[in-house]
Amino acid sequence: MNTDLDDFDVDMNRIIVRPLYFGLFTNILIPMALLLVCYYLNNRGGVGNSIGDFANTLFYIIGAVAVVQSVFALWWRMKRFSQPMIRRRETFEQDLLTGVLAISRPIFVVIAAISVYAVIYFFLTGRFRETVFLVFFSFIVFQVVRPRHGQLKGLIARQKTLIEQGQFLS
């Protein structure tokens, strides 16, 4: 069989845009809005540290959980994108679009959870700098995980290989 990527005439921008918009909303807009609320509260007198000396330990715990979630998100994306996503050759582009979106959404939510932990940390400790650090870390992870043209080309090639081997999404 021919393995040229042009066989399917895939609009890569169309496939990337929908998951990217969802990711921008969940990993950029919502965390920035929450961070803006924290900033406002911090400038208006702040929030008291309700957990005392445990604040430092909690920061390291949340940081460790954030790193584990980041590694999990990267692993999950790699694992899911290597599985069949196409139901039939004739619906290749639509199946790919649906599959990329369906796989990306929960991964983006896992990454966005890091920002939610940061906001909870702020309300427990009143420490704005650490909150910004955790939110910024989630932004970096999103930048690594978000869909790109190069990754999509590799995904298309893998899906074509799976089709040629007769492996379809059931």
Question: Tens digits of per-residue pLDDT, 52-95?
Answer: 999 999 999 999 999 999 999 999 999 999 999 999 999 999 99
8-state DSSP, 83: S
pLDDT (0 to 100) of residue 2: 45
Q: Residues with Cβ < 8 Å from 105, sequence gap 6 or more? A: 19, 22
- pTM metric for this prediction: 0.89
pLDDT (0 to 100) of residue 170: 80
pLDDT (0 to 100) of residue 7: 54
SS3 79: helix
Q: Residues with Cβ < 8 Å from 107, sequence gap 6 or more? A: 73, 76, 77, 145
Tokens of 74: 């990267």
Q: Which band of pLDDT confidence, cut at 50, 70 and 90, is reported for residue 17?
A: very high
Nearest to 72 by CA among 114, 26, 131, 34: 114
Nearest to 55 by CA among 108, 126, 112: 126
